[in-house]
Amino acid sequence: MSTAHVLLGLLARGPRHGYDLKREHDERLPQAKPLAYGQVYSTLGRLERDGFVEQSGQDQESGPERTSYTLTELGRDRLDAWLDEVEPPAPHVTSALFNKVVVALLAADADRARLYLTAQRSAHMTRMRELTVSKTTPGTTVGDVIAADYAIGHLDADLRWLQTTLARVADLQKEVSS
């Protein structure tokens, strides 16, 4: 995910200052890592330098002076182009799950790999239950629900892989040992 593109998207709804952008990012993308204020302002600086946003005003409520930014036509074009880009599927398996299974087989044995796979399956199931409950918690937004659904979908795919791999540990052990 590109922080710059997300900020452009948030600014598409109208002028905002950095504090609002950070807060809205963290609220609208609850499964993403929260943005640091410094990251927001450094990204806004680059976006302004590149002509994608411009300052639209200054306001000072009860705290420091805040600069509002607005999306430029060039920024809207860049946002539209980014939204039209199809994300390519990941070309490589870089999952820690996969790496740990292979290393467990190389460094230990099939029993160690089975223990890891079983423990990991339990952790995934616990997280799926937490996410399922979170979808029905009072005050949950539609954004929270679709973020939970996205995470559940990935956990479900991992669970199927864990189960299949658990059934293949003996064959994997033979392959790795040779």
Q: How confident is the model at residue 92 (pLDDT cuts 50, 70, 90)?
A: low
Show the 3-state SS of the chain.
CCHHHHHHHHHCCCCEEHHHHHHHHHHHCCCCCCCCHHHHHHHHHHHHHCCCEEEEEEECCCCCCEEEEEECHHHHHHHHHHHHCCCCCCCCCCCHHHHHHHHHHHHCCHHHHHHHHHHHHHHHHHHHHHHHHHCCCCCCCHHHHHHHHHHHHHHHHHHHHHHHHHHHHHHHHHHHHC
Greater pLDDT, 137 or 61? 137
- With a pLDDT cut of 70, the percent of the chain lying above it is 90
Which pLDDT value is given to residue 166?
86
Copy the structure tokens of residue 142. 């539609």
- Tell whether the model's pLDDT for residue 40 goes beyond 90: yes
- Tell whether the model's pLDDT for residue 131 goes beyond 60: yes
Q: How confident is the model at residue 23 (pLDDT cuts 50, 70, 90)?
A: very high
- Tell whether the model's pLDDT for residue 87 goes beyond 80: no
Q: How confident is the model at residue 168 (pLDDT cuts 50, 70, 90)?
A: confident
Report the distance separating Cα 178 and Cα 173, nearest Å: 9
Which pLDDT value is given to residue 91?
61
